[in-house]
Structure 1
Amino acid sequence: MIEQHQIGEFTLVTLLDGMFLCDGDFIPAAKSEEGAALFKSVGLPAVGPSPEPINAFILKRGEQIWMIDAGCGTELGPRFGKVPSALKNAGYQPEKVEGVILSHLHEDHIGGLINQKGEPHYPYATLYLSEVELAFWTDTASKTAYPKLVESG
Protein backbone atom coordinates (compact mmCIF):
# COMPACT_ATOMS: atom_id res chain seq x y z
CA MET A 1 0.00 0.00 0.00
CA ILE A 2 1.33 3.42 -0.96
CA GLU A 3 0.32 6.31 1.27
CA GLN A 4 0.11 9.56 -0.67
CA HIS A 5 -1.04 13.06 0.28
CA GLN A 6 -1.56 16.17 -1.80
CA ILE A 7 -0.36 19.36 -0.08
CA GLY A 8 -0.95 22.29 -2.38
CA GLU A 9 1.36 21.84 -5.37
CA PHE A 10 3.27 19.03 -3.64
CA THR A 11 2.66 15.30 -3.48
CA LEU A 12 4.07 13.56 -0.41
CA VAL A 13 4.53 9.80 -0.66
CA THR A 14 5.50 7.61 2.31
CA LEU A 15 8.06 4.89 1.61
CA LEU A 16 8.24 2.15 4.26
CA ASP A 17 11.79 0.98 4.94
CA GLY A 18 10.81 -1.57 7.59
CA MET A 19 9.26 -1.99 11.03
CA PHE A 20 11.41 -1.40 14.10
CA LEU A 21 10.29 -3.31 17.18
CA CYS A 22 10.58 -0.94 20.16
CA ASP A 23 10.65 -2.59 23.54
CA GLY A 24 11.01 -1.30 27.08
CA ASP A 25 14.78 -1.03 26.73
CA PHE A 26 14.39 1.46 23.89
CA ILE A 27 11.48 3.35 25.50
CA PRO A 28 12.22 3.46 29.26
CA ALA A 29 8.81 4.98 30.13
CA ALA A 30 7.18 1.88 28.65
CA LYS A 31 8.34 -0.03 31.73
CA SER A 32 5.98 2.01 33.91
CA GLU A 33 2.39 1.09 34.78
CA GLU A 34 1.19 3.80 32.37
CA GLY A 35 3.42 2.41 29.62
CA ALA A 36 2.12 -1.12 30.15
CA ALA A 37 -1.47 0.19 30.08
CA LEU A 38 -0.77 2.07 26.85
CA PHE A 39 0.71 -1.02 25.19
CA LYS A 40 -2.30 -3.09 26.31
CA SER A 41 -4.79 -0.43 25.14
CA VAL A 42 -3.61 -0.90 21.54
CA GLY A 43 -3.56 -4.68 21.71
CA LEU A 44 0.16 -5.17 22.38
CA PRO A 45 1.76 -7.20 25.17
CA ALA A 46 2.30 -5.09 28.32
CA VAL A 47 6.08 -5.06 27.73
CA GLY A 48 5.87 -4.53 23.98
CA PRO A 49 7.34 -4.57 21.53
CA SER A 50 5.67 -1.72 19.70
CA PRO A 51 6.15 -1.96 15.92
CA GLU A 52 7.29 1.46 14.70
CA PRO A 53 7.72 2.26 11.01
CA ILE A 54 10.95 3.66 9.66
CA ASN A 55 10.06 5.72 6.62
CA ALA A 56 11.49 7.94 3.95
CA PHE A 57 9.36 10.27 1.87
CA ILE A 58 9.08 11.44 -1.72
CA LEU A 59 8.29 15.10 -2.19
CA LYS A 60 7.16 15.75 -5.76
CA ARG A 61 6.30 19.06 -7.43
CA GLY A 62 5.70 18.95 -11.14
CA GLU A 63 8.56 16.90 -12.58
CA GLN A 64 10.85 17.56 -9.60
CA ILE A 65 11.37 14.59 -7.28
CA TRP A 66 13.02 15.02 -3.91
CA MET A 67 13.25 12.78 -0.88
CA ILE A 68 13.11 13.52 2.81
CA ASP A 69 15.50 11.11 4.53
CA ALA A 70 16.52 7.77 3.04
CA GLY A 71 15.57 5.15 5.62
CA CYS A 72 18.16 2.96 7.33
CA GLY A 73 19.12 0.63 4.54
CA THR A 74 20.36 -2.55 6.16
CA GLU A 75 22.01 -0.69 9.08
CA LEU A 76 19.40 -2.12 11.47
CA GLY A 77 19.36 -5.59 9.97
CA PRO A 78 17.96 -7.56 7.04
CA ARG A 79 14.30 -6.65 7.72
CA PHE A 80 15.03 -3.13 6.46
CA GLY A 81 16.33 -1.53 3.28
CA LYS A 82 13.02 -1.46 1.41
CA VAL A 83 13.00 2.22 0.39
CA PRO A 84 14.53 1.74 -3.10
CA SER A 85 11.97 -0.92 -4.03
CA ALA A 86 9.13 1.10 -2.44
CA LEU A 87 10.25 4.08 -4.53
CA LYS A 88 10.07 2.01 -7.71
CA ASN A 89 6.72 0.46 -6.70
CA ALA A 90 5.37 3.99 -6.28
CA GLY A 91 6.34 4.68 -9.90
CA TYR A 92 9.56 6.66 -9.38
CA GLN A 93 13.11 5.98 -10.52
CA PRO A 94 16.13 6.51 -8.22
CA GLU A 95 18.00 8.29 -11.03
CA LYS A 96 15.28 10.97 -11.12
CA VAL A 97 15.69 11.96 -7.46
CA GLU A 98 17.21 15.46 -7.55
CA GLY A 99 17.83 15.97 -3.85
CA VAL A 100 17.61 14.29 -0.46
CA ILE A 101 16.76 16.51 2.50
CA LEU A 102 18.29 14.91 5.60
CA SER A 103 16.43 15.77 8.78
CA HIS A 104 19.39 14.59 10.85
CA LEU A 105 22.21 12.08 10.58
CA HIS A 106 21.05 9.11 12.63
CA GLU A 107 21.43 5.75 10.92
CA ASP A 108 17.68 5.28 10.44
CA HIS A 109 17.62 8.45 8.30
CA ILE A 110 20.84 8.12 6.27
CA GLY A 111 21.69 4.41 6.12
CA GLY A 112 19.60 4.03 2.98
CA LEU A 113 21.67 6.49 0.96
CA ILE A 114 24.03 3.76 -0.24
CA ASN A 115 23.75 0.09 -1.13
CA GLN A 116 25.83 -2.73 0.37
CA LYS A 117 28.55 -2.10 -2.18
CA GLY A 118 28.85 1.52 -1.02
CA GLU A 119 27.26 2.89 -4.19
CA PRO A 120 24.64 5.66 -4.00
CA HIS A 121 21.01 4.63 -4.39
CA TYR A 122 20.24 8.13 -5.74
CA PRO A 123 23.26 8.88 -7.95
CA TYR A 124 22.19 12.32 -9.16
CA ALA A 125 20.78 13.63 -5.89
CA THR A 126 22.26 16.54 -3.99
CA LEU A 127 22.22 16.01 -0.22
CA TYR A 128 20.86 18.81 1.99
CA LEU A 129 21.59 19.10 5.69
CA SER A 130 21.24 21.92 8.20
CA GLU A 131 24.39 23.74 9.23
CA VAL A 132 23.61 22.98 12.89
CA GLU A 133 23.50 19.22 12.22
CA LEU A 134 26.71 19.32 10.20
CA ALA A 135 28.42 21.34 12.93
CA PHE A 136 27.43 18.78 15.58
CA TRP A 137 28.76 15.76 13.68
CA THR A 138 32.00 17.46 12.66
CA ASP A 139 32.75 19.08 16.04
CA THR A 140 35.45 17.16 17.88
CA ALA A 141 33.82 18.19 21.18
CA SER A 142 30.79 16.06 20.26
CA LYS A 143 32.95 12.94 20.51
CA THR A 144 33.75 13.82 24.12
CA ALA A 145 30.28 15.02 25.13
CA TYR A 146 28.29 12.29 23.31
CA PRO A 147 30.66 9.36 22.65
CA LYS A 148 27.96 6.71 22.17
CA LEU A 149 25.91 8.89 19.84
CA VAL A 150 28.85 9.91 17.67
CA GLU A 151 30.28 6.38 17.50
CA SER A 152 26.95 4.93 16.37
CA GLY A 153 26.08 7.83 14.06
Structure 2
Amino acid sequence: MKNPLCCTAHQALLLIVLALMCAFSLIHPGLAIAAPVAKQNTQVPGYYRMALGDFEVTALYDGFNLINNKLLKGASAETIQSSQARAFLDATNGVQTAVNAFLINTGEHLVLVDSGAGKCLTDKLGNVQRDIEAAGYTLEQVDTVLLTHMHPDHACGVLDSKGERAFPNATLMLNKTEADYWLNPELLAKAPADKQARLKMIAASAAPYKAAGKLKLFTDGSEVLPGVKDLALHGHTPGHSGYMFTSKGQNLLVWGDVVHSHSIQFAHPQVAIEFDSDAKQAIATRKHIFAEAAAKKFLVAGAHLPFPGIGHVRLKGTGFAWVPVEFAPLP
Protein backbone atom coordinates (compact mmCIF):
# COMPACT_ATOMS: atom_id res chain seq x y z
CA MET A 1 0.00 0.00 0.00
CA LYS A 2 1.39 3.42 -1.07
CA ASN A 3 2.06 5.97 1.61
CA PRO A 4 -0.18 9.02 0.85
CA LEU A 5 2.20 11.29 2.72
CA CYS A 6 5.07 10.14 0.48
CA CYS A 7 3.14 10.93 -2.70
CA THR A 8 2.14 14.29 -1.33
CA ALA A 9 5.76 15.09 -0.54
CA HIS A 10 6.87 14.14 -4.07
CA GLN A 11 4.15 16.26 -5.59
CA ALA A 12 5.08 19.18 -3.40
CA LEU A 13 8.74 18.86 -4.39
CA LEU A 14 7.81 18.81 -8.08
CA LEU A 15 5.74 21.95 -7.67
CA ILE A 16 8.64 23.68 -5.92
CA VAL A 17 11.05 22.73 -8.75
CA LEU A 18 8.63 24.02 -11.39
CA ALA A 19 8.12 27.24 -9.48
CA LEU A 20 11.89 27.77 -9.20
CA MET A 21 12.32 27.15 -12.94
CA CYS A 22 9.63 29.71 -13.76
CA ALA A 23 11.18 32.25 -11.40
CA PHE A 24 14.64 31.65 -12.91
CA SER A 25 13.32 32.16 -16.44
CA LEU A 26 11.76 35.48 -15.41
CA ILE A 27 15.01 36.69 -13.89
CA HIS A 28 17.21 35.28 -16.72
CA PRO A 29 14.99 35.24 -19.84
CA GLY A 30 17.96 34.71 -22.15
CA LEU A 31 18.65 31.34 -20.49
CA ALA A 32 15.06 30.13 -20.68
CA ILE A 33 14.31 26.94 -22.56
CA ALA A 34 13.10 27.91 -26.06
CA ALA A 35 12.00 26.26 -29.29
CA PRO A 36 14.79 25.53 -31.84
CA VAL A 37 15.68 28.56 -33.99
CA ALA A 38 14.55 28.20 -37.61
CA LYS A 39 17.30 27.97 -40.25
CA GLN A 40 17.73 30.79 -42.75
CA ASN A 41 17.90 29.12 -46.15
CA THR A 42 18.79 32.11 -48.32
CA GLN A 43 22.26 33.31 -49.29
CA VAL A 44 23.36 36.94 -49.26
CA PRO A 45 23.41 38.82 -52.60
CA GLY A 46 26.65 37.89 -54.31
CA TYR A 47 28.99 40.83 -54.74
CA TYR A 48 32.62 41.44 -53.82
CA ARG A 49 34.43 44.75 -54.22
CA MET A 50 38.11 45.57 -54.72
CA ALA A 51 40.26 48.41 -56.01
CA LEU A 52 42.36 48.39 -59.19
CA GLY A 53 44.34 51.62 -59.19
CA ASP A 54 41.68 54.32 -59.44
CA PHE A 55 39.12 51.81 -60.73
CA GLU A 56 36.60 50.03 -58.53
CA VAL A 57 35.87 46.40 -59.43
CA THR A 58 32.73 44.63 -58.19
CA ALA A 59 32.38 40.90 -58.83
CA LEU A 60 28.77 39.76 -59.23
CA TYR A 61 27.54 36.20 -58.63
CA ASP A 62 24.83 35.25 -61.13
CA GLY A 63 24.46 31.69 -59.81
CA PHE A 64 25.81 28.31 -60.84
CA ASN A 65 25.62 25.45 -63.30
CA LEU A 66 26.45 21.79 -62.74
CA ILE A 67 29.01 20.43 -65.20
CA ASN A 68 29.16 16.72 -65.91
CA ASN A 69 32.60 15.19 -66.38
CA LYS A 70 31.51 13.81 -69.75
CA LEU A 71 31.68 17.37 -71.11
CA LEU A 72 35.45 17.53 -70.50
CA LYS A 73 37.72 16.29 -73.29
CA GLY A 74 41.47 15.70 -73.42
CA ALA A 75 42.26 13.78 -70.24
CA SER A 76 41.47 10.33 -68.91
CA ALA A 77 38.62 9.75 -66.50
CA GLU A 78 41.21 8.82 -63.86
CA THR A 79 43.06 12.14 -64.31
CA ILE A 80 39.84 14.12 -64.10
CA GLN A 81 38.59 12.25 -61.04
CA SER A 82 41.91 12.49 -59.19
CA SER A 83 42.12 16.24 -59.88
CA GLN A 84 38.64 16.71 -58.49
CA ALA A 85 39.42 14.56 -55.46
CA ARG A 86 42.45 16.75 -54.65
CA ALA A 87 40.08 19.74 -54.70
CA PHE A 88 37.59 17.88 -52.46
CA LEU A 89 34.93 17.93 -55.18
CA ASP A 90 32.22 15.31 -55.51
CA ALA A 91 31.31 14.91 -59.18
CA THR A 92 28.53 12.37 -58.65
CA ASN A 93 25.80 14.81 -59.73
CA GLY A 94 28.04 17.21 -61.63
CA VAL A 95 30.47 19.81 -60.30
CA GLN A 96 29.21 23.24 -59.34
CA THR A 97 30.59 25.89 -61.66
CA ALA A 98 30.00 29.55 -60.83
CA VAL A 99 28.67 32.11 -63.30
CA ASN A 100 30.22 35.51 -62.57
CA ALA A 101 29.98 38.98 -64.09
CA PHE A 102 32.06 42.06 -63.28
CA LEU A 103 31.07 45.69 -62.78
CA ILE A 104 33.93 48.18 -63.14
CA ASN A 105 33.61 51.85 -62.23
CA THR A 106 36.41 53.68 -64.05
CA GLY A 107 35.33 57.08 -62.77
CA GLU A 108 34.30 57.97 -66.31
CA HIS A 109 32.26 54.88 -67.16
CA LEU A 110 30.30 52.23 -65.28
CA VAL A 111 31.07 49.08 -67.25
CA LEU A 112 29.43 45.68 -66.90
CA VAL A 113 31.41 42.76 -68.34
CA ASP A 114 28.95 39.97 -69.12
CA SER A 115 25.43 40.01 -67.74
CA GLY A 116 24.59 36.52 -66.52
CA ALA A 117 21.80 34.28 -67.76
CA GLY A 118 18.80 36.48 -67.04
CA LYS A 119 15.65 34.41 -67.56
CA CYS A 120 17.10 32.16 -70.27
CA LEU A 121 18.32 29.19 -68.27
CA THR A 122 17.64 27.63 -64.85
CA ASP A 123 16.36 29.21 -61.64
CA LYS A 124 19.86 28.71 -60.21
CA LEU A 125 20.98 31.64 -62.36
CA GLY A 126 19.83 35.16 -63.17
CA ASN A 127 20.95 37.28 -60.20
CA VAL A 128 23.26 39.87 -61.76
CA GLN A 129 20.68 42.66 -61.91
CA ARG A 130 19.73 42.08 -58.27
CA ASP A 131 23.39 42.03 -57.26
CA ILE A 132 24.13 45.33 -59.01
CA GLU A 133 21.43 47.02 -56.97
CA ALA A 134 22.53 45.28 -53.77
CA ALA A 135 26.04 46.61 -54.44
CA GLY A 136 24.72 50.18 -54.40
CA TYR A 137 24.27 50.93 -58.09
CA THR A 138 21.24 51.16 -60.34
CA LEU A 139 20.76 49.51 -63.73
CA GLU A 140 20.27 52.97 -65.24
CA GLN A 141 23.79 53.98 -64.17
CA VAL A 142 25.46 51.29 -66.29
CA ASP A 143 26.57 53.02 -69.51
CA THR A 144 28.50 50.16 -71.17
CA VAL A 145 27.96 46.40 -71.33
CA LEU A 146 30.91 44.43 -72.73
CA LEU A 147 30.22 40.83 -73.67
CA THR A 148 33.10 38.36 -73.74
CA HIS A 149 30.91 36.22 -76.00
CA MET A 150 27.24 35.56 -76.74
CA HIS A 151 26.46 32.31 -74.95
CA PRO A 152 23.18 32.67 -72.99
CA ASP A 153 24.81 32.60 -69.53
CA HIS A 154 26.72 35.74 -70.52
CA ALA A 155 24.32 37.60 -72.81
CA CYS A 156 20.73 36.98 -71.72
CA GLY A 157 21.04 39.14 -68.60
CA VAL A 158 21.06 42.30 -70.74
CA LEU A 159 17.27 41.91 -70.97
CA ASP A 160 14.60 42.53 -68.35
CA SER A 161 11.62 40.26 -67.62
CA LYS A 162 9.73 41.75 -70.60
CA GLY A 163 12.54 41.12 -73.06
CA GLU A 164 13.49 44.80 -73.22
CA ARG A 165 16.80 46.52 -72.41
CA ALA A 166 17.59 45.99 -68.73
CA PHE A 167 20.25 48.71 -69.00
CA PRO A 168 18.40 51.52 -70.79
CA ASN A 169 21.35 53.91 -70.87
CA ALA A 170 24.00 51.38 -71.88
CA THR A 171 25.73 50.68 -75.16
CA LEU A 172 26.13 46.93 -75.80
CA MET A 173 29.60 46.19 -77.17
CA LEU A 174 31.13 43.01 -78.54
CA ASN A 175 33.69 41.72 -80.98
CA LYS A 176 32.59 41.99 -84.62
CA THR A 177 33.60 38.39 -85.35
CA GLU A 178 31.36 37.23 -82.51
CA ALA A 179 28.42 39.31 -83.72
CA ASP A 180 28.87 38.27 -87.35
CA TYR A 181 28.65 34.63 -86.31
CA TRP A 182 25.80 34.58 -83.77
CA LEU A 183 23.63 37.33 -85.27
CA ASN A 184 23.76 35.94 -88.81
CA PRO A 185 20.21 34.93 -89.88
CA GLU A 186 21.68 32.15 -92.02
CA LEU A 187 23.02 30.44 -88.89
CA LEU A 188 19.53 30.14 -87.44
CA ALA A 189 18.02 29.05 -90.76
CA LYS A 190 20.56 26.22 -91.17
CA ALA A 191 20.61 25.11 -87.52
CA PRO A 192 19.00 21.79 -86.51
CA ALA A 193 15.77 22.03 -84.56
CA ASP A 194 17.40 21.21 -81.22
CA LYS A 195 19.79 24.19 -81.58
CA GLN A 196 17.30 26.81 -82.70
CA ALA A 197 15.87 27.74 -79.29
CA ARG A 198 19.35 28.58 -78.00
CA LEU A 199 20.20 30.60 -81.10
CA LYS A 200 16.97 32.56 -80.77
CA MET A 201 17.88 33.42 -77.15
CA ILE A 202 21.24 34.73 -78.31
CA ALA A 203 19.79 36.84 -81.13
CA ALA A 204 17.05 38.20 -78.85
CA SER A 205 19.60 39.48 -76.32
CA ALA A 206 21.10 41.93 -78.81
CA ALA A 207 17.93 42.83 -80.73
CA PRO A 208 16.54 45.68 -78.58
CA TYR A 209 19.98 47.31 -78.29
CA LYS A 210 20.44 47.14 -82.06
CA ALA A 211 16.96 48.60 -82.61
CA ALA A 212 17.81 51.50 -80.29
CA GLY A 213 21.14 52.18 -82.03
CA LYS A 214 22.96 50.97 -78.90
CA LEU A 215 24.88 48.00 -80.38
CA LYS A 216 28.54 48.77 -81.11
CA LEU A 217 31.05 46.33 -82.62
CA PHE A 218 34.84 46.44 -82.47
CA THR A 219 37.75 44.54 -83.98
CA ASP A 220 40.53 42.55 -82.29
CA GLY A 221 42.89 44.61 -80.15
CA SER A 222 40.72 47.72 -80.00
CA GLU A 223 40.77 50.15 -77.09
CA VAL A 224 37.06 49.87 -76.41
CA LEU A 225 37.07 52.52 -73.65
CA PRO A 226 39.78 54.60 -71.97
CA GLY A 227 41.86 52.15 -69.95
CA VAL A 228 40.06 49.12 -71.44
CA LYS A 229 41.55 47.07 -74.29
CA ASP A 230 40.19 44.04 -76.12
CA LEU A 231 42.30 40.87 -76.13
CA ALA A 232 41.43 38.28 -78.76
CA LEU A 233 40.92 35.05 -76.82
CA HIS A 234 39.17 33.16 -79.59
CA GLY A 235 38.38 29.46 -79.59
CA HIS A 236 35.60 28.95 -77.08
CA THR A 237 33.51 30.93 -79.55
CA PRO A 238 34.60 32.49 -82.87
CA GLY A 239 35.03 36.00 -81.46
CA HIS A 240 35.53 35.26 -77.77
CA SER A 241 37.18 38.29 -76.13
CA GLY A 242 38.92 39.27 -72.95
CA TYR A 243 39.14 42.82 -71.61
CA MET A 244 42.27 44.24 -70.00
CA PHE A 245 41.47 47.01 -67.51
CA THR A 246 44.45 49.20 -66.61
CA SER A 247 44.69 51.91 -63.97
CA LYS A 248 47.83 53.34 -62.36
CA GLY A 249 49.96 50.48 -63.65
CA GLN A 250 47.64 47.80 -62.28
CA ASN A 251 46.04 45.33 -64.69
CA LEU A 252 42.99 43.06 -64.54
CA LEU A 253 42.10 40.77 -67.42
CA VAL A 254 38.44 39.75 -67.48
CA TRP A 255 38.84 36.61 -69.55
CA GLY A 256 35.34 35.14 -69.91
CA ASP A 257 35.36 31.39 -70.51
CA VAL A 258 39.08 30.63 -70.72
CA VAL A 259 38.42 28.21 -67.81
CA HIS A 260 35.30 26.18 -66.98
CA SER A 261 36.81 23.71 -64.51
CA HIS A 262 39.37 25.24 -62.13
CA SER A 263 40.20 21.89 -60.52
CA ILE A 264 41.28 20.39 -63.86
CA GLN A 265 42.15 22.98 -66.51
CA PHE A 266 44.85 24.87 -64.61
CA ALA A 267 46.86 21.71 -64.03
CA HIS A 268 45.81 20.27 -67.41
CA PRO A 269 45.22 23.16 -69.84
CA GLN A 270 44.91 20.68 -72.70
CA VAL A 271 41.44 19.74 -71.42
CA ALA A 272 38.67 21.26 -73.53
CA ILE A 273 34.93 21.41 -72.91
CA GLU A 274 32.21 20.29 -75.28
CA PHE A 275 30.87 23.86 -75.57
CA ASP A 276 34.05 25.05 -77.35
CA SER A 277 33.43 26.06 -80.96
CA ASP A 278 37.05 25.30 -81.83
CA ALA A 279 38.62 23.14 -79.14
CA LYS A 280 42.12 23.25 -80.67
CA GLN A 281 42.10 27.05 -80.72
CA ALA A 282 40.57 27.25 -77.23
CA ILE A 283 43.39 25.08 -75.83
CA ALA A 284 46.08 27.16 -77.56
CA THR A 285 44.48 30.36 -76.22
CA ARG A 286 44.32 28.96 -72.69
CA LYS A 287 47.96 27.85 -72.66
CA HIS A 288 49.10 31.20 -74.03
CA ILE A 289 47.14 33.38 -71.61
CA PHE A 290 48.04 31.18 -68.61
CA ALA A 291 51.74 31.61 -69.42
CA GLU A 292 51.37 35.35 -69.94
CA ALA A 293 49.36 35.85 -66.75
CA ALA A 294 51.90 33.85 -64.72
CA ALA A 295 54.87 35.71 -66.20
CA LYS A 296 53.42 39.22 -65.94
CA LYS A 297 51.56 38.58 -62.67
CA PHE A 298 48.45 40.53 -63.61
CA LEU A 299 45.11 39.80 -61.99
CA VAL A 300 42.52 37.81 -63.91
CA ALA A 301 38.77 37.54 -63.49
CA GLY A 302 36.93 34.49 -64.80
CA ALA A 303 33.27 33.89 -65.47
CA HIS A 304 33.45 30.29 -64.23
CA LEU A 305 36.00 30.47 -61.43
CA PRO A 306 34.88 30.11 -57.80
CA PHE A 307 33.30 33.39 -56.72
CA PRO A 308 34.49 36.15 -56.69
CA GLY A 309 36.47 34.66 -59.58
CA ILE A 310 39.43 37.05 -59.22
CA GLY A 311 43.03 36.02 -58.60
CA HIS A 312 46.39 35.16 -60.11
CA VAL A 313 47.79 32.32 -62.20
CA ARG A 314 51.10 30.77 -61.19
CA LEU A 315 53.30 28.03 -62.59
CA LYS A 316 53.04 24.63 -60.91
CA GLY A 317 55.09 21.73 -62.22
CA THR A 318 54.28 21.21 -65.89
CA GLY A 319 51.00 23.09 -65.52
CA PHE A 320 49.56 26.02 -63.63
CA ALA A 321 47.65 26.77 -60.43
CA TRP A 322 44.96 29.24 -59.39
CA VAL A 323 45.58 31.67 -56.50
CA PRO A 324 42.34 33.45 -55.51
CA VAL A 325 42.23 36.91 -53.97
CA GLU A 326 41.57 37.16 -50.25
CA PHE A 327 38.63 39.06 -48.79
CA ALA A 328 39.87 42.49 -47.78
CA PRO A 329 38.55 46.00 -47.12
CA LEU A 330 38.93 48.68 -49.75
CA PRO A 331 41.97 50.95 -49.27
- Determine if contact 1:24/1:30 at 8 Å carries over to the other structure: no
- Cα distance in structure 2, aligned partners of 1:47 and 1:18: 20
User: Match of 2:175, as an amino acid?
Assistant: S
Counterparts of 1:46-57 in structure 2, within 5 Å, are 46-47=91-92, 49-57=94-102
Q: 1:37 to 1:9 in 2, by over 3 A?
A: same
Q: Distance in 2 between matches of 1:88 and 1:112?
A: 14
From 47, 69, 87, the equivalent of 2:114 is 69
Question: Over aligned residue pairs, what C-alpha RMSD do you find?
Answer: 2.6
Which stretch of structure 1 is more off in the superposition, 60-69 or 97-106? 60-69
Q: For residue 116 of structure 1, what is the aligned residue in structure 2?
A: 161
2:127 matched to 1:78? no
Q: TM-score, normalised by structure 2?
A: 0.42
Distance 1:105 1:25, change over 3 A: same
Larger radius of gyration: 2
Which of 143, 146, 162 is the matching residue for 1:101? 146
Match of 1:16 in 2: 61
Whether contact under 8 Å (2:69, 2:91) holds in the other structure is no
Structure 2 unaligned regions, length at least 5:
1-45, 200-331
Given that 1:36 and 1:47 are in contact with CA atoms closer than 8 Å, whether structure 2 keeps it comes out as no
Q: Distance in 2 between matches of 1:95 and 1:76?
A: 24
The Cα offsets for residues 36-74 of structure 1, whole Å up to 9 and x where unpaired, read as: 111211112254522111111101012531100101112
Cα distance in 2 for partners of 1:19, 1:52 equals: 5
Q: Which amino acid aligns with 2:70?
A: D
Is contact 2:128-2:157 (8 Å) kept? yes
Which is further off, 29-38 or 18-27?
29-38
Identity of aligned residues (%): 29
**Which moves more between the two structures, 98-107 or 63-72?**
63-72
Q: State whether structure 2 residue 83 is matched by structure 1 residue 38.
A: yes
Count of equivalent residues: 153
Q: Aligned partners of 1:148, 1:42: CA distance in 2, in Å? A: 39
What code does the residue aligned with 1:100 have?
Answer: V
Secondary structure, aligned partner of 2:179:
helix
Q: 1:140 to 1:76 in 2, by over 3 A?
A: closer
Change (3 A) 1:27 1:5: same
Q: CA deviation at 1:6?
A: 1.7
Kindly indicate whether residue 209 of structure 2 is the aligned counterpart of residue 131 of structure 1. Answer: no
- Measure the CA separation in 2 of the matches of 1:108 and 1:149: 18
The one-letter code sitting in structure 2 at the alignment partner of 1:75 is: C
Matches of 1:95 and 1:140, distance apart in 2: 31
CA distance in 1, matches of 2:107, 2:52: 13
- Cα distance in 1 for partners of 2:77, 2:193 equals 25
Give the direction of change, closer, same or farther, for the CA distance of 1:47–1:29 in structure 2 (3 Å limit). Answer: farther
Higher relative contact order (CA closer than 8 Å, sequence separation 6+):
1
Post-superposition CA distance 1:78-97 (Å, at most 9, x none) = 11111111101111110100
Give the whole-Å Cα distance in 2 for the aligned partners of 1:147 and 1:59.
38
Q: TM-score, normalised by structure 1?
A: 0.85
